[in-house]
Structure 1
Amino acid sequence: MTRQLKMLILVWMDAFLISISFYAALALRFDNAIPAIYIESLRQNILFFVFIKLMVFVVGKMYHSLWKYASISELVQIMFTIFFANLLVMSFAYLAGDINNVIFPRSVYVIAAILDIFLIGGVRVGYRALPAKLNKYKGWGMKKRVMIIGAGDAGAMLVKEINNHSALNSKIVVFVDDDSTKVGLRIGGAPVAGTTEEVPKIAKKYGIDEIIIAIPSAGKAQIQDIVAKCKKTKAKLKILPGIYEIIGGKVKISQVRDVQIEDLLGREQIKLDTNEIRNFIKYKTVMVTGAGGSIGSELCRQILHFQPSELILVEIYENSVYDLQNELNRKYEGLNLKVIIASVRDRDRMEEIIGTHRPDVIFHAAAHKHVPLMESNPKEAVKNNVFGTLNVAQMADKFGVSKFVLISTDKAVNPTNIMGATKRLCEMIVQSIDKESKTEFAAVRFGNVLGSNGSVIPLFKKQIAQGGPVTLTHEDIIRYFMSIPEATQLVLQAGAMAKGGEIFILDMGEPVKIIDLAKDLIRLSGFEPDVDIAIKITGLRPGEKLYEELLLDEEGVSKTVHEKIFVGKPIFTDYEKILKHINTLDEGIRTPNANLKHIMGRIVKTYKVYEEENVKADAQKNENMKIGN
């Protein structure tokens, strides 16, 4: 139907309603016994009354509104327009009455105005409300049955949003809230049926297909507790994000998202000493190596909150850093950003970059970190991790960089793989050069970060999307996890604290069993572990541990002023000895078929060199002993 036709229909409807309201006003005024003189006068003047009112409606732009989206402001507009229209009609009627000697009682105009508001306003409100009602109940039996956890403002707004979006094919059938005073009440027609303790029972009773957690103020612990109860149902689980993510306190359908593993493993928001970090970063030239990686890119985002004078992004892989450059330039107007494509292995290039830009602070995040790949390619691990760190550290010393912060890993503690051994040697380089340099060198050690490139969570998600199986190496394997933003914020805090020579150790919270992690991800994806998606144990990979450690036995640990950051005491400070060891490594790299793992084992005393041949020999020996028995 065209807009012009809709407007014409509305005009004719208004004309009919104006006529009805005036007649009804007379009937009400005279208790349905209208004197014949008034009926005759109305017959003679009604067309004029209608014409006047319609002209006022046109001037008042009552036919320009999109009544499908009408709100209180449009109703107020109707009231004022009808009031003014009735004043003009009354003025005309008094003039006509003086001529015809028939004057309607003044109460008739008041009643007519009230009836106009109800009839004409009612048509427009009905035009808005009827389609929404029809959409709400259209295909009612086929819609997803939704439970909302949280019968507060967010939950109430969410009901309206869902009811107004028929394309979602959803209906709210029940609420759950831990405020017992709300139990038994109704919101948007749906009952508040109980507390979160009763979620499994209520979900079964109401045949729930989907659960939405709508408590924006909830902390991580509360969300974890609610999700644990929801996991006992077969419903798909979604969540409304935290209040800080909701702009202007308004709830939108687009903000509702699937519950992610980060919601379960993440912890309460950490408290930072932002003044200390700001003094560390503000108006400084800051350089980040490995800027395109998971940690490096988030470091860049966090650093920019503290207003550096210049941010230098050093990265060998141009695609990732190109995307980061575009993102940062969009977000920060007038940003002084330098993107440099270079490898930390290239000593001359590092000298050129650091000598030219003279950074005040360097965060060294560039590294090869994939354990199985590095086991097969130990030369590359040594070149990139050890010599890359040495190059950047020595240039930082040469050009008087104020602070150098190495990003390390829990795999450096009692390493069983070449990647961990190289990172431990990087820590030894940093601790030993600190004693010889005016630059303050420090390292920050932490475990796995949620969702980082190559980590287990993206792998599991990909396997689930492909229908499984989800593969893990051992059913008892455990790991520490931390979110990328949390890890990088604590790196900045540790960097601000550093006085030189420290290895900062981040509080990683409680370790997580990887098999439990896999099961949670499968459930959050709407499947049942080992029913819809299989879990397959593949066996430990070369160099892989059942668990990771964060501290060497001899390091000891001290508290810092920040509750999430600890510091290990320096245990290796002989810089000349490190350089001799690195010369040996350099010779090993240049020698064909040299066993770099053995060389690393002589340097990093805690490195338990994985020898596949020895493992096979031990296995065969055990088998022979069984046969002998």
Structure 2
Amino acid sequence: MKAPTSRGLIVFLCDIGFAAFAWYAAFALRFNFAIPPEFWRSMALSLPWIVLVQAAVFYFFGLYQGIWRFASLPDLQRLVRAIGAVAVLGPVVVWLLQGKGIVPRSVYVLDPILLLMLMGGGRFAYRAWREHREFGSLLAKGKPVFILGAGEAAASLLRELGRSGQWRVVGLLDDNARKHDRTLYGLRVLGAIRDLERFARELKVSYAIIAMPNASHEVRREAANACVRAGVKPMTVPSFDDLISGKVAVASVREVEVEDLLGRDPVKIDAPRLRQLIEGQMVMVTGAGGSIGSELCRQIARFSPSAIVAFERSEFFLYTLVEEFAELFPHVRIEPVIGDVREEDRLLAAMQRFRPVVVFHAAAYKHVPLMEGVNAAEAIRNNVGGTLAAARAAQASSVPRFVLVSTDKAVNPVNVMGATKRLAEMGCQALAARGGDTLFSTVRFGNVLGSAGSVIPKFQEQIARGGPVTVTHPDIIRYFMSIPEAAQLVLQAALMGEGGEIFVLDMGEPVRIADLARDMIRLSGASESEVKIEFTGLRPGEKLYEELLASDETTRPTHHPKVRIARARAIDDALWLGRLERWLTGPLPAEPAAVRAELAQWVPEYVPQGDGPAPSPAPSDEVRSGTGT
């Protein structure tokens, strides 16, 4: 048994005092506080023995390893078990040492009851005193704040905020009506979260902390939206996964960001099978310095590969990734390889040197307007030619799995970027049809939150400058997914691939970009009168909506609820791939319109929209399902 600390020793001595007093009080109660002389002698003779037995039992049951200020139900249970043992052993020891009839039997009953009251009461009185001292400060100093949620996370948050002094908690709000008008650590549950605006106005509170880390995302998002509508600055506690992993404490509150409004419930992936695939193996990622590529590297690192081969054209991005891994993942070896995915010899040399078990091909040009004009030919060479070069190198090196990261813009594409990604998908399908040791699969998803060049960083910069926030069209909608979620589902699809599939990820509900801009303005603390929204018109190659090809008619389910397989048109022409490779190696037209026209010959569902924006009708359910692919 571990020796008690100095504070534990003080508690131990207090318990010995309680034991002695309880033994005396049991005699006093037995004789109505008029103990006869013969029993005074009996009490004095038995006292050392009973205290010695009780002290040994208390120590054996580990009553001095806990912390008084956090005394809780498990501590009480341990105390009850110890006193139960005392109630049995005490009489036996006294009877063996002093004989029968010396101690009244009722004393043996009263003593453990009194002992429980003294020891348990002492512990919880100390905790109540500490909490009164801490939680009293919640009512006296700091910025006034509401706590949204009245569960375990809120209780933990209140305990920790009491020690910080940064916040003055005014009250709690919770949608569970049974909690209304009840108290948590002396603070009242005022009402429902939907009434936040009224309470904020009445009590003049400008901040709220959302303390519901294990609630569904819809519940947390609605709480954040309630804060935005009420003009209250929303804060949130860390995610439930971060809390249980020990990365952060409940009190590590942060501002609510737009990702909290758009994000979704955590993804569940087949971690045991992924570990079997990756642990101790080489894994290669092309475009490893980009948003998706770097996150893939981080997610792969969780499964202890022997090394991650990071293939990247940008020296700076590659250096940044290596430095990040040295700090955050020192146990994972990174093999940085500088190279262009269009250089098949460089890819082949890297794959034959490191022998990866899976290659994730995330290198691509992805910015739609930039690829629509004079850069159209470069988009074809990089997105199609680079994919085929990487895929052929993987096939020549007998890499077991090759995964192409694609996009929702490949569904019925109206822009060069989407058409090149669709053609890259078709190239991988054709290589899969040839056979060989490599299993080819494609993963298709929409916009990722916070990726380079995406709308959210752009809006943040515009809001910081005071506006205006530029939105192309009032009705434009997009699907969003967090970068970690996208990377995890790419890993899951890689595990499920059997050759030639196009996996479609569930992107959830679409988001109206104009509403996103308004939420971001309000989250910044400004109003739309201060930071205005301007509609600039659709850009070249831009749709009002993106199609995911995720309906029951056009996909079939997998065992994972967020991954489906597209029923895409098969590439069954044995000569098609050879003609495509000859086209890619030959000269492309100089004029963007001619490049788009040639690209349309390879991708029948691609209809070039010229140099103007793509006209988009209001999306019906049939159109959204992508039935044209």
Return the alpha-carbon distance in structure 1 between the equivalents of residues 546 and 591 of structure 2.
33
1:452 correspondence with 2:456: no
Please point out which of 435, 457, 460 is paired with 1:437.
Answer: 435
Is 1:415–1:608's contact at 8 Å kept on the other side of the alignment?
Answer: yes
Residue 608 of structure 1 corresponds to: 607
| CA distance, structure 1, for counterparts of residue 614 and residue 211 of structure 2 | 52
CA contact (8 A) 2:593 2:610 kept: no
1:366 to 359, 363, 367: 363
Which residues of structure 1 form unaligned runs of 5+? Answer: 1-69, 74-121, 617-629
1:585·1:596 contact (CA, 8 Å) conserved in 2? no
> Residue 206 of structure 2 aligns with which residue?
209
In structure 1, what is the equivalent of residue 313 of structure 2?
A: 316
CA distances 1:508-531 after superposition (whole Å, capped 9, x unpaired): 111111111111222222222x22
* Corresponding letter in the other structure for 1:264: L
1:389 maps to: 387
Counterpart residue identity of residue 516, structure 2: L
Computing the radius of gyration over CA atoms, which structure comes out larger, 1 or 2?
A: 1
What's 1:398 paired with?
Answer: 396
CA distance, structure 1, for counterparts of residue 319 and residue 555 of structure 2: 40
| Superposition map of 1:62-461 within 5 A | 137=140, 144-166=143-165, 168=166, 170-187=167-184, 190-246=187-243, 255-376=252-373, 377-438=375-436, 439-461=438-460
Cα displacement (A) at 1:301 = 1.2
Deviations for 1:349-402, whole angstroms, at most 9, x for unmatched residues?
A: 122222222222111000010111111311221121111111111111111111
Counterpart Cα distance in 1 of 2:225 and 2:69: 42
Task: Please tell me whether residue 466 in structure 1 is matched to residue 441 in structure 2.
Answer: no
* Contact in 2 for aligned 1:407/1:443 (Cα 8 Å): yes
Judged with a 3 Å threshold, the aligned counterparts in structure 2 of structure 1 residues 308 and 130 are, in CA distance, closer, same or farther, namely closer
CA distance change for structure 1 residues 362 and 264 in 2, over 3 Å: closer, same or farther? same
Mapped to 2, the partners of 1:557 and 1:267 lie a distance apart of 22
Aligned residue in 1 for 2:524:
525
| Shift in CA distance, 355/473, structure 1 to aligned 2, threshold 3 Å | same
In 2, Cα distance between the equivalents of 1:153 and 1:593?
60
d(CA) in 1 for partners of 2:566, 2:137: 67
Shift of 1:476: 0.6
CA 1:249 to 1:310, structure 2 compared with 1: closer, same or farther past 3 Å?
closer
Give the match for residue 543 of structure 1.
541
SS of aligned partner of 2:586: helix
Matched, 1:485 2:484: yes
CA distance in 1, matches of 2:250, 2:358: 43
Alpha-carbon distance, 1:136 to partner: 7.3
* Letter in structure 2 aligned against 1:451: G
Q: C-alpha distance in 2, partners of 1:354/1:305? A: 22
Deviation at 1:489, TM superposition (A): 1.1
What are the superposed Cα offsets for residues 141-196 of structure 1, whole Å, 9 maximum, x if unpaired? xx632111123443344345445445x4x422222123444433445664321122
C-alpha distance in structure 2 between counterparts of 1:493 and 1:320, whole Å: 26
Whole-angstrom distance in 1 between the partners of 2:606 and 2:492: 29
- Contact 1:158/1:251, CA 8 A, preserved across alignment: no
TM-score by length of 1: 0.72
In the other structure, the counterpart of 1:495 is 494
- Any conservation in 2 of the 1:148–1:214 contact (CA below 8 Å)? yes
* Per-residue deviation, 1:575: 5.1
Distance 1:487 1:373, change over 3 A: same
| Residue equivalent to 2:80 | none
- Equivalent position amino acid for 1:472 in 2: V
Number of residue pairs the alignment of both structures matches: 490
**In 2, distance between residues paired with 1:227 and 1:163?**
24
Aligned partners of 2:428, 2:231: CA distance in 1, in Å? 51
Alpha-carbon distance in 1 for matches of 2:552, 2:247: 54
Following superposition, the deviation at residue 465 of structure 1 comes to 1.5
Greater Cα shift, 302-311 or 531-540: 302-311
Task: Sort the Cα spacing of 1:573 and 1:255 in 2 relative to 1 into closer, same or farther, 3 A.
Answer: farther
Give the distance between the partners of 2:594 and 2:272, measured in 1 at CA.
49
Q: Secondary structure at the match of 1:460?
A: helix
Distance in structure 2 (CA, Å) of the matches to 1:248 and 1:567:
33
Offset, 1:612:
2.3
Contact kept? 1:292, 1:321, Cα under 8 Å: yes
The 8 Å contact of residues 146 and 209 in structure 2, kept in 1 or not, is answered as yes
Q: Is the 8 A contact 2:384 2:421 kept in 1?
A: yes
SS in 1 for 2:545: coil
Change (3 A) 1:204 1:331: same
| In structure 1, C-alpha distance between the alignment counterparts of 2:550 and 2:163, rounded to whole Å | 58
In structure 2, the CA distance between the partners of 1:507 and 1:386, relative to structure 1 (3 Å rule), is same
C-alpha distance in structure 2 between counterparts of 1:211 and 1:358, whole Å: 52
Change in Cα spacing, 1:333 to 1:593, as seen in structure 2 (3 Å) is closer
SS at match of 2:504: strand
The alignment-based identity, stated in percent, is 44
Structure-2 separation of matches of 1:303 and 1:552? 26
Following the alignment from structure 1 to structure 2, what is the Cα–Cα distance between the partners of residues 192 and 360? 55
Cα distance in 1, alignment partners of residues 145 and 520 from structure 2: 21
Aligned to 2:626: none
Cα drift, residue 338 of structure 1 = 0.6
In structure 2, C-alpha distance between the alignment counterparts of 1:255 and 1:134, rounded to whole Å? 19
Deviations 1:479-525 (A, max 9, x none): 11111111111111111111111111111111111111111222222
Counterpart of 1:31 in structure 2 is none
Q: 1:276 to 1:161 in 2, by over 3 A?
A: closer
Q: What is the SS of the residue equivalent to 1:444?
A: strand
Secondary structure (helix, strand or coil) at the match of 1:255 reads coil
Q: Tell me, in whole angstroms, the C-alpha distance in 1 between the residues paired with 2:490 and 2:613.
A: 39
Residue equivalent to 2:79: none
Deviations 1:184-215 (A, max 9, x none): 34456643211223222212211111111112
Query: Structure 1 CA distance, aligned partners of 2:287 and 2:257?
Result: 27
| Contact 1:310–1:337 under 8 Å retained in 2 | yes
Q: 1:360 to 1:555 in 2, by over 3 A?
A: farther
What amino acid sits opposite 1:380 in the alignment? E
Query: Structure 1 248/266 Cα, relative in aligned 2: closer, same or farther at 3 Å?
Result: closer
Pick closer, same or farther for the CA change 1:383–1:443 going to 2, 3 Å. same
User: Which residue of 1 is the match for residue 532 of structure 2?
Assistant: 534
What are the Cα deviations for residues 285-323 of structure 1, in whole angstroms up to 9, with x where unaligned?
A: 211000111111111111122222221000011222222
* Equivalent position of 1:571 in the other structure: 570
- For residues 114-151 of structure 1, the C-alpha deviation after alignment (integer angstroms, 9 at most, x for no partner) is xxxxxxxx9xx99x9999989975xx6xx632111123
Paired residue for 1:60? none
Q: 8 Å contact 1:433–1:575 — kept in the other structure?
A: no
> Partners of 1:322 and 1:551 in 2: how far apart?
37
> Aligned pair in 2 of structure 1 residues 534, 591: CA closer, same or farther (>3 Å)?
closer
The CA deviation string for residues 3-46 of structure 1, in whole angstroms up to 9 with x for no partner, is xxxxxxxxxxxxxxxxxxxxxxxxxxxxxxxxxxxxxxxxxxxx
